[in-house]
Amino acid sequence: MGQRIVIIGAGIIGAAVALRLTQAGHDVTVIEAGAPGGGATGRSFGWINASFHQDAAHFALRAEGMAAWRRLDLPGVSWPGCLWFEEQGDAFASVHKHLTSLGYPVEVLESDAIARAEPALAAPPARALRFPGEGVAEAALVAQDLLARATALGARLWSGIAVRGIADRAGRVGGVLTDAGAIAADTVLVCAGTGTPGLVGPLGVKLPMLDRPGLLLTTQALPPLLGHIVVAPGQEVRQLPDGRLLAPTSPNHQGDAAETLADTAETLAEAARARVAALIGRDIRLTGITLAHRPVPGDGLPVVGPSGPDGLYLAVMHSGVTLAAIMAELIAAELTNGGPQALLAPYRPARFA
């Protein structure tokens, strides 16, 4: 007999876990204060990769994250690869050597090959690294698809309903309290991003979070220009399926450690627009600016596992887009008598206790 599981948060992590838990026979309810996929998920650059990582264990987790997305094989997830020339010289060689030593698929392209791979680039660099296995997710659409699959199997989705508290009954969760009434649960899985500390703090769970605001810009729709995720000096950009260009305003946005925006949103977006325009050698028009508060735990690494009263389980991380599919597999295994999963061992909430 499955558990009654309430998942707080209908972003890409909550949605992916909801599907796996429903498939495993649990009674799943997902609660979302806003629109499904509308929080940090819907404001993501959408890059699926392991070329960015903090240590060997984090690399292994992210590499498994890429493989898990391929196992899911969903519309909205594609694999264009990444063309990286953010650095040259010794830094270029260092990145190449490091990723090769990890067994990560890497190709070195010279300028002629770069021009053939990305003919829209105005000035191809002397060399670039190509990461052919990297992908993108149109994250909000993927989250909504995952939830639709879960609800088709019997899960329930409550949207536009805020959770006001988690019931603690003598050291065990009893459910959640919402604006629309209480929901009983054997397990409460918190996938609420930056909202997680406010939900678990009253239960004595310490979860420090970093302030990591990030801006994304979009342009008008353009003819097909970019076939890869492009990582140039000071700028990342990719082309969306509808032709718009999507670009963070901060360089190396995955490792961006700024706690506040360095300038106004308009100024930052205009500067990034100009960098992208120079990169492709054509004028482009800024059509949208999106602010996201990225859910980054205090040491920059995921927080996953039980904490506080029995039945409380946390899943908070950046980047959820890279990790959602593997988290769904691992969390569902842990909550379905699969025992502790080795890939999650470095990321337990107890490290902040």
Task: Report the CATH number that the domain containing residue 270 is assigned in CATH.
Answer: 3.30.9.10
Residue 111 token pair: 């300028």
Token pair of 46 as six digits: 């959408």
> What's 261's DSSP letter?
-
* Residues 313 and 288 placed together within one structural domain of the fold: no
Q: pLDDT per position in the chain (353 positions), as tens? A: 689 999 999 999 999 999 999 999 999 999 999 999 999 999 999 999 999 999 999 999 999 999 999 999 999 999 999 999 999 999 999 999 999 999 999 999 999 999 999 999 999 999 999 999 999 999 999 999 999 999 999 999 999 999 999 999 999 999 999 999 999 999 999 999 999 999 999 999 999 999 999 999 999 999 999 999 999 999 999 999 999 999 999 877 777 778 899 999 999 999 999 999 999 999 999 999 999 999 999 999 999 999 999 999 999 999 999 999 999 999 999 999 889 999 999 999 999 98
Burial class of residue 241 in the structure, from the number of CB atoms within 10 Å of its CB (0-12 exposed, 13-18 middle, 19+ buried): exposed
Which of 104-107's residues contact partners 24+ apart within 8 Å by CB, and which partners? 104/50, 104/51, 104/59, 104/63, 104/131, 104/133, 105/131, 105/132, 105/133, 106/130, 106/131, 107/132
Q: Tell me, yes or no, whether 57 lies in a domain.
A: no
Determine, yes or no, domain membership for 107. yes
Asked whether residue 241 falls in the same domain as residue 279, the answer is yes
The 3-state DSSP composition of the chain as helix, strand, coil percent (nearest 5) reads 35, 25, 40
Identify the domain boundary among 251, 271, 293: 293
Please tell me the predicted confidence (pLDDT) of residue 1: 63
Indicate if 226 and 241 belong to the same structural domain: yes
Question: Quick check: helix, strand or coil at residue 351?
Answer: helix
The answer to whether residues 175 and 277 belong to one domain is: no
Can you say how many angstroms the Cα of residue 332 is from the centroid of all Cα atoms in its chain?
18
222 in any annotated domain: yes
Q: Is the domain of 218 the same as that of 346?
A: no
Q: Are residues 96 and 239 in the same domain?
A: yes
Query: Is residue 60 one of the residues assigned to a domain?
Result: no
Rounded-to-integer distance, Cα 313 and Cα 217, Å: 34
Beta bridge partners of 210: 296
Q: Look at residues 269, 293, 317 and tell me which one is the last residue of a structural domain.
A: 293
Q: Who contacts 170 (Cβ-Cβ below 8 Å, separation ≥6)?
A: none
Domain end marker among 293, 317, 344: 293
Q: Are residues 267 and 177 in the same domain?
A: no
Q: What is the DSSP letter of 159?
A: E
Domain hosting residue 170, numbered range: 4-43+139-209+298-352
Looking at the 3D structure of the chain, how many domains does it have? 2
Which of 187, 239, 189, 191 has the alpha carbon at shortest distance from 218?
239
Cα(63)–Cα(278) distance, integer angstroms: 33
Q: Is 308 inside a domain boundary?
A: yes
* pLDDT score at 353: 87
Does residue 16 lie within any of the structural domains? yes
Domain membership of residue 148 (yes or no) is yes
Same domain, 217 and 278: yes
State whether 275 and 347 are in the same domain.
no
Task: Clarify whether residues 143 and 274 are in a common domain.
Answer: no
Q: Is residue 257 part of a domain?
A: yes
What's 145's domain CATH number?
3.50.50.60
Backbone angles phi, psi at 202, to 5 degrees: -60, -15
Per-residue DSSP letter, 310: B
d(CA 23, CA 150): 8
The answer to whether 267 and 179 are in contact (CB under 8 A) is no
- Domain shared by 106 and 224, yes or no: yes
Residues 125 and 218 in one domain: yes
